[in-house]
Chain A
Amino acid sequence: GNSVTQMEGPVTLSEEAFLTINCTYTATGYPSLFWYVQYPGEGLQLLLKATKADDKGSNKGFEATYRKETTSFHLEKGSVQVSDSAVYFCALRSMEYGNKLVFGAGTILRVKS
């Protein structure tokens, strides 16, 4: 079945450091890929998405490129801020799998000032 694997956290960075959170997936068909962010005590917020191979999703300085050849969707940001501290979830969705979101385990990001 469909699955998502994320790098384990927590990831601890200093402010203005470069961020990469790795995400790889296994899926039948042609899934859409998403990154969601969860701040403490909150629900999930969509950060960015990509719907086909080589698409790049971007938002608030975060980027991720849909790489079909490596089945990856790594999240990157050039300069993190303390306010980026949160849990980040990679997810996929495909019609062949009932259109439900399948999430990775989540990666905790801590940014120190």
Chain B
Amino acid sequence: KAGVTQTPRYLIKTRGQQVTLSCSPISGHRSVSWYQQTPGQGLQFLFEYFSETQRNKGNFPGRFSGRQFSNSRSEMNVSTLELGDSALYLCASSLEGPSNTEAFFGQGTRLTVV
């Protein structure tokens, strides 16, 4: 069974640009969550999508957005990039279910804003 796939693995963007990251969940998983990992703030929740609907949202500005497609694949978009957006962005997929369901993570997309 294929794991969670995130593309691209690495990105370098310039301040002010926008970027789109992609995540393909494990087959059969309908929940996709996104996390930002930085040395200063650690792992922070961005948002969760389930059945093409945003079900939960973290404390990030509106420049961060996402969507989910009917095949459960998800994208996140960051507009007007700032230097502080440099981070590892991790996607996790889960089966729908109670909180004891584990989340499986992709390898992440390393975004560098210069």
Q: Using a CB–CB distance below 8 Å, which chain A residues touch chain B?
A: 31-32, 34, 36, 42-46, 49, 51, 89, 93-95, 98-106
Contact of B56 among A46, A99, A106 (CB under 8 A): A99
Q: Is B45 an interface residue (CB 8 A)?
A: yes
Also in contact, A93 and B99, with CB within 8 A (given A100-B56, A101-B35, A101-B92)? yes
**Chain A residue at minimal CB-CB distance from B41:** A105
CB-CB contacts of B32-66 with A at 8 A, as 1s and 0s?
01010000001101001000000110100000000
**Chain B residue at minimal CB-CB distance from A99:** B99
Q: 6 additional contacts, CB 8 Å, given A36-B105, A102-B45?
A: A34-B102, A43-B4, A44-B90, A99-B56, A100-B56, A100-B58
Residues of B within 8 A of A106 (CB): 42-43
Secondary structure of the B contact surface, majority rule: strand
Could you tell me how many residues of chain B have their Cβ less than 8 Å away from some Cβ of chain A?
23
A23–B59 alpha-carbon span in the complex (Å): 24
Also in contact, A99 and B48, with CB within 8 A (given A44-B90, A106-B42)? yes
Contact of B42 among A45, A94, A99, A105 (CB under 8 A): A105
Q: Is B108 an interface residue (CB 8 A)?
A: yes
Contact of A45 among B6, B100, B105 (CB under 8 A): B105
A32–B99 alpha-carbon span in the complex (Å): 6
Also in contact, A43 and B100, with CB within 8 A (given A99-B48, A100-B48, A101-B45)? no
Q: Is B106 an interface residue (CB 8 A)?
A: yes
Determine whether the beta carbon of A95 is less than 8 Å from that of B107: no
A48–B103 alpha-carbon span in the complex (Å): 11
Residues of A within 8 A of B108 (CB): 42-43
A102–B59 alpha-carbon span in the complex (Å): 13
A43–B43 alpha-carbon span in the complex (Å): 11
Contact of B99 among A43, A46, A94, A104 (CB under 8 A): A94
Residues of A within 8 A of B56 (CB): 98-100
A102–B48 alpha-carbon span in the complex (Å): 13
A104–B43 alpha-carbon span in the complex (Å): 8
